[in-house]
Structure 1
Amino acid sequence: MHRVLRQLKHQLQGVWDLMYNCHSKKNTMKNNIKILLLLLLTLNYSCSDSLQEVNVDPNTFPSAGDAQVLSSAIGFLGYVVDTDLNYSESFLWSQYYTWGQGVSIGNSERYVAQPDDFNGYWARAYANCLADLNAITKNSSAPAYSGIAKVLKAYLFQGLVDHFGDIPFSEALAGAIEDGSILAPSFDAAGSAVYPGLVTLLDEALSDLERAEDGVVGEEDFIYQGDISKWIKFANSLKLRVLMRTSETDPQAAAIKELIANGTFIETVADMPYIPYTGASGDQNPMFARAEYGVGMFYFASNATLDVLESLDDPRGEVLYTKATTGSFAGQLHGIDQGTIKNEPFTAPPTDYSMASEYAYSETNPVILMSPWEVWFLRAEAAARYDTSDDEEMAFETAIALNFKYMGIEDEASSYINSLNYSSSDALVDRIDQIAVQKWISLNGTQEDEGWIEARRFDRPESRLFTNGIWQTPPLSVLPNGTFPSAWLYPESERSLNPNAPAQRTITDNIFWDN
């Protein structure tokens, strides 16, 4: 049953992607809607444990149980994270990649954005993932299900804030009659309402999970297979991310020190929350599936990243990117300056340049929600800023070592770490810069969107590390030299349908934690 369910989820993802991204004829759209409705019907009926023909009103639509709804939410979550976020503007705006040979420079590379560009992410996050998870938190009597759903709700809401700023939160998902029929939810202030609300939501999740029993949730949990202890680690790690995000604008030292002292966290790959894919038809990594059967994978290594890797003699470049196989740089890593058109249209073969490797781009790659190296970098930074109970140097070194191990080059970790000469006795600004660079490198290939988000946070007044150093201004950028995107536009679909939507922003507006 679960294999069929997973295949249906991926078909649903493809239909949603088609509906939001193509501009086809009216009849085609009608057909797509029919397909979607058919799949939804199939999803509901195929997941029932029994027909339960007795005492069933034939005039009512059967409701799905916690297991079916959770698996649906996680299925859509994989698509949202790896396609709507990782394989989006963030893929380029993080400057891990740039447009490559054989294609014209697109709007994303020129820092031109349209509100319609973000309709799909907004709709799938709210109408699919969050709607499913909200159904669980409203209706489930099992603390295991409600706790898991609250963790994932916090994860999704944080992502929405970190891209858009103010969002519907307190009145979101309240369109049902019993919830007040709120069809035009208000937008809550990101800093004063949503982020504190995320901490509360995660505390509620932890309370539920502490009361939960193992074995209640099973294979429908594609992330942890119902292992409650790991969900607790995920909840604490996500809470740490939320609290640390405001480190430059609203430090949460006391809360962070208490959390570090008393919580359990994602510490190894065995603890890592991820959504797996077998690579079989209907069960492929979402980024791979969309590129292979849709928009294409035409991105090349950005010299913004390669220059940093080369300056540090960092061996991870050869894991992240392929080597050129033809041309004067054959056998070497060879990138392109961000957004640069050398000879338009490009005439050199793509094999003259480095592209995404299988580490970053494969049909079997998991969608990683939080990595242990991300969490250890958060703990290293927290120790540096707030003198927590963690060993700062150990946390920094562990983060890098885990990333090297995951890449399959753990034998090279020790010498590389020693070459960095990280010391807790150095000036704080220098330690934060080292953490920032190493974290940005480590998120490449697995969490590109988080890499873009954290680069914005680390680019702070005392050290414009990225905007005045690492990142390159594309020659055709419509923004001033040294100016880079820092937010996404509100989707046109929301602004046209919700009278409470705020005025449109620009892509250079700062999210509240970004100064």
Structure 2
Amino acid sequence: MKKIINLLLIGAVAVGVSSCKKYLDINTNTNNATTATPALVLPQAIVGTASITQSLNSAYYFPGGFAANIYGVGGYGSGVTYAYTAGSFVTGFSSSYDNATDYQYVIDNTAATPGLAYSTAIARIMKAYVFAKVVDQYNDVPYSEALKGNSVLAPKYDKAEDIYKDLVAQLTASINAITTAQAGTTANKVLASADPLFKGDMNLWKKFANTLKLRLLIKMAGVTALQSYTTTEFAALNTTVGFLTTDALVNPGYVKAINSQGISQQNPNYGSLAFGTDNARSQGQAIPTRWIFSFYNGTKLSDPGRGGVIFRGFPSTAVNQLGEENTVSSQVPPAGSTSWFTGVDANTPGLGVAKGPSQGQSLMLASESYFLQAEAYVRGYLTGDAKTAFNAGITASFNYLYQNQSNVVDASKNVNADVTTYLTTNNTSRLANFDLATNNEQKIEAIITQKYIAMNMIHCDEAFNEFKRTTYPTIVNGSQDPLLTFASKQSVSTRPDKLIGRVLYPQSEYNLNPTNVPSVTLFGSRIFWDLN
């Protein structure tokens, strides 16, 4: 039986993160002003965030319920047992702080210059995005004393709730700063070539910040002790700014190539799910789970439109339950390809999640924006039509998946027609027909389930976060039925759901900051917004 050389997907993603710092072929030593300037560091940092975002996504292919082991391969270790250690998931911590340091450098070197107001605001928004990701993985983390270099070598750990509050404040200040700068003539425009996310469109930056703010407030609002705060913040939320209606995609000019430093320049999601720059397939030891497939093949929902562009060979794609080793020889990826690439071959891009080497890297999908709005309307945080937002979220998911690597909907696809077919075909399920959700809890179940589907292999970490926050999609605790749970059959978790509660702090923190790092456990500790 073959052995996996590198521990499945979790350890391997470190390669992608280490490369993100050098993608643009510049020296990003933020302690050396002669080789790094804010104008150079900011776009580089945004590209770095994109790579980290994909690394977190791939780290949750297995624990999030999206991918499973295959026939004839062993050595999956903690990937199927969940016996993770302080050596697991480390890139979500170390690389995120490295990335946040770049944004702090930009802030420190632009904040006093009115002409650079846009750059300051962008850096603050992106720093908030990065720290929100860190909190969602680790809960309490260094924040107020972090990013200070040698002046603070053992920073204190701030409460997760306090960090979230400050991130909201930073996002609000950034939106206001952009609006003020737009009304004046002092601020220098951000060139499209210097902004790999929104190409200098500051209105989109405001919408992105507002949508991220909405995500944070919704997570906080479920915590009783924070509801007075969130009620005030929701009332003050500037809805005239709006929320994202387009996907937030980073693209510095991804291409199937290696730069002068030997670093891949292709899209990291494509590199993870399809092929490397040498056309070697990336996922030869993973296939979709029966659980996630059931939301496409008619078991739970029928979705041939999205299923056909995500899964190669749909609806006959090989699937498995995580941890199931009683497999047959057909439970392997397609010959010469992966389960998540639906193009013709390594030189012919396709659609779905692994479109092509030049596709943009998602930081946040428009579908998530709509589903966040739908939840806010159902819970009474904001005023609006939840059904309209819910259906818009489904439509946005189809739209993204039907686009090619150039962000153009393929000529063979009709988004509106296929969404109509999807809603009609599944009109007896309240997970798709919002009118059948007769109470708020059923409506939230529908919203979060559709969000989970939309994030499949794109934002697996956030999908798992939302499951922990809401318990949706619904599973049956303790079941080993692959259609009733996505927990591994080999799970050693002591939780009723047999999943992890959170990840552990990296060993480096226990070694270098032992007096401050909190004591946590893999199965007994939780993120502050996880009350289930």
Residues 86 and 448 in structure 1, CA contact (< 8 A), matched pair in contact too: yes
The question of whether the paired residues in 2 share the 8 Å contact of 1:334 and 1:354 is answered with no
What does residue 422 of structure 2 align with? 416
Amino acid in structure 2 at the alignment position of 1:186: K
Separation of aligned partners in 2, 1:502 and 1:395: 41
The 5 A counterparts of 1:305-344 are: 305-309=292-296, 310=298, 311-315=300-304, 316-323=306-313, 332-343=316-327
* In structure 1, distance between residues paired with 2:244 and 2:166: 22
Q: Partner amino acid for 1:511?
A: I
Query: Which digits, 9 at most, give the CA deviation of each residue in 1:118-165, with x for residues without a partner?
Result: 3323121112x1111001111112110110000000000000000001
Question: What is the CA distance between 1:320 and its match in structure 2?
Answer: 1.8
Match of 1:370 among 343, 361, 364: 364
- Cα deviation, residue 484, structure 1: 0.6
State the Cα distance separating 1:445 from its structure 2 match: 3.1
SS at 2:434 equivalent: coil
Q: In 1, are the aligned partners of 2:318 and 2:331 still within 8 Å (CA)? A: no
Superposed, 1:292-303 pairs within 5 Å as: 292=275, 296-297=282-283, 298-303=285-290
CA-CA distance at 1:367 after TM superposition: 1.4
Aligned to 1:54: none
Change (3 A) 1:350 1:492: same
Distance 2:129 2:476 in 1: 26
Contact 1:214 1:227 in 2 (8 A): no
> Which of 439, 446, 456 is residue 468 of structure 2 equivalent to?
456
Q: Are residues 136 and 466 of structure 1, via their aligned partners in 2, closer, same or farther at CA, if it must alter by over 3 Å?
A: farther
- For 2:520, give the aligned amino acid: R
Residue matched to 2:348: none
Quick check: 2:46–2:250 contact (8 Å CA) kept in 1?
Answer: no
CA displacement 1:390-445 (0-9 Å, x = unmatched): 11111111110111122225121023234232139721111111111111001113
Q: Does 1:196 align with 2:165?
A: yes
Q: Which residue of 1 aligns with 2:529?
A: 513
Aligned to 1:357: 341
The answer to whether the Cα contact below 8 Å between 1:102 and 1:347 also exists between their aligned partners in 2 is no
Question: What residue is the counterpart of 1:6 in the other structure?
Answer: none
Q: Residue 219 and residue 102 in structure 1: after superposition, are their counterparts in 2 closer, same or farther (change >3 A)?
A: farther
**CA–CA distance in structure 2, aligned partners of residues 464 and 112 of structure 1:** 24
Contact 1:119–1:493 at 8 Å: present in 2 too? no
Query: Where is the helix percentage greater, Structure 1 or Structure 2?
Result: 1
User: Which residue of 2 is the match for residue 246 of structure 1?
Assistant: 220
Q: 1:203 Cα deviation (Å)? A: 1.4
Which amino acid letter does the alignment assign opposite residue 189 of structure 1? K
- Cα deviation, residue 20, structure 1: 9.3
- Contact in 1 for aligned 2:47/2:250 (Cα 8 Å): no
Q: TM-score, normalised by structure 1?
A: 0.80
Task: Give percent identity, aligned residues only.
Answer: 25
Deviation at 1:41, TM superposition (A): 13
1:487 pairs with 502, 521, 526, which one?
Answer: 502
Cα distance in structure 1, aligned partners of 2:338 and 2:23: 41
Matched position secondary structure for 2:287: strand
**Secondary structure of 1:397 counterpart:** helix
| Contact 2:312/2:334 (<8 A) preserved | no
Separation in structure 2 between the aligned mates of residue 175 and residue 107 of structure 1, nearest angstrom:
34
1:11 alignment counterpart: none
For structure 1, the residue ranges without an aligned partner over 5 or more in a row are 1-14, 22-31, 48-59, 325-330
1:499 to 2:470 alignment? no
Q: What CA distance in whole angstroms lies between the structure 2 residues aligned with 1:416 and 1:165?
A: 38
Matched residue count:
456
1:401 maps to 395
Question: 1:9 maps to what in 2?
Answer: none
| Alpha-carbon distance, 1:369 to partner | 0.7
Distance in 2 of aligned mates of 1:101 and 1:63: 50
Matching residue within 138, 149, 159 for 1:164: 138
* Distance in 2 between residues matched to 1:457 and 1:396, nearest whole Å: 19
